[in-house]
Structure 1
Amino acid sequence: MNNPILVTGAGKRVGFHIASRLKQDGYEVLAHYRTETDDVQKLKQLDIQTIQADLQDTASIMEFIDKLQQFSPAYRGIVHNASAFTPTADDLVEAAEQYQHFFTIHMLAPFLINQALSKLLKGPGNDPADIIHITDINVENPTPRFDIYGTTKAGLHNLTLVSAKKLAPQIKVNSVAPGPVLFTESHTQEARQKMLSETPLAREGGAEPVYLAIKSLLENPFITGATIPVDGGRRLSKA
């Protein structure tokens, strides 16, 4: 068996698409999920190995890392897709709890997993292995209503840059920054139309362009510390 690529947050939406497309393109995949979903069952039907973990605190992250170390002696790469996305709470106590949760998912978990698995990451042949962080164009063009989300994703972006320096030359570390690829239930019809009006390509991108950006990074052995925006140009908007 080839060394697997770990995809976190693969139980639905973009993460599910990434895991299934990697498998389709011949990669071995270990798909992490938090909650059992219909998409998790679909991953299993595609003969994709799955692993459950709720990355809610340091202890649970370390338990997950222990499972990963037992699952395989080597990994081809990691795609950090696990994410939390809600508007910032108005109540300060709720906002503080939200900040801690988003920090844990977006920053602490990737940092600890990268550190723990760095010695297990093996690229193809003489090429480096890959770590890919899924950030957001909010890093470059923040939305005030989602400031906790945006600032913790910005921390993940910075982790990309420092890790690219720290883990070279054995591992290359890059980011993919999606924009309006898949709307969520929190987006009203008015919000969707506004976002699309601010997007030069004027449409919802879908999950496939995110996967294509990931694939391009996996296949290019000479890119590290870079971010590929997958946003239809929305980061260029002043809004």
Structure 2
Amino acid sequence: MLTASITGKLFEPPMPEEIIKVAKAVTKKKRAFFIIKNFEKDVRVFKQAIEYLRNIGWSIEYGIVNDDISVDASSLRKYRRGLAGTILIEKIIGTLAKKGKSLVDLKMVCEQLLPETKTIGLAFSDSVLYKQSCHTLSLGKDDIYYGIGIHGEAGYRKEHWQKSELMAREIVNKMRLNFRWQKKENVALLVNNIGKISPMEELTFTADITELLELEGLKIPFIKTGSFMTSHDMSGISVSILRLQDKWLEYLKQPSTCYAWPNSI
């Protein structure tokens, strides 16, 4: 997985100085690969840190993950956010880095992964901002919100509460439109508990998603369910799909000691 995660204050990116400090602390080799979620502030501060490190002799490459498919219009795709699909990319790139691959190799694989990784999230309750009384999504008691972001950003449609199967169907339909997949393609599935979802609900939803994908004729040799990318005080769940190529499945299955990554397949 990752050597380090560099975080800022709640719902804010770290400062460039913090990024530089962590990079220097975890390696003396003066080279690093950054995986950045596509939020304007995050991209800006990481690029500032990367410019500084390159100027003092570091070799740096990076990838910007924009797996959010809640935005359809091509003119708005640059605003696609980085969501839980980032975890799958981190796992594969982390495995390759451990195998000693060069930064050029990591960059090449990351560029291949990005268009094949897609995520849709949905919320059942708001994310309450820390030390503030406001709610970010203005959800009613029986509302769900499709297409939300991990910081409580707005999605594309609100509806009243539905059965798990109907919510799964909405997500799979959205995925089909974006992937334009063919029968017998292999995909990896990550069902992410954004927060407050019970294990029973989590597994029920995963079963519904899996059944619908299999009805689409897809093969799913890799499934992970759990809390991989959560949001402050929000109840919700997201689905990430990676269309598998090359040895990506093998890399995903490599064991990891990362806390939130169970190694059972």
TM-score w.r.t. structure 2 length? 0.33
Relative to total residues, which structure has the larger helix share, 1 or 2? 1
TM-score w.r.t. structure 1 length? 0.36
Between structure 1 and structure 2, the one with the greater Rg is 2
Relative to total residues, which structure has the larger strand share, 1 or 2? 2
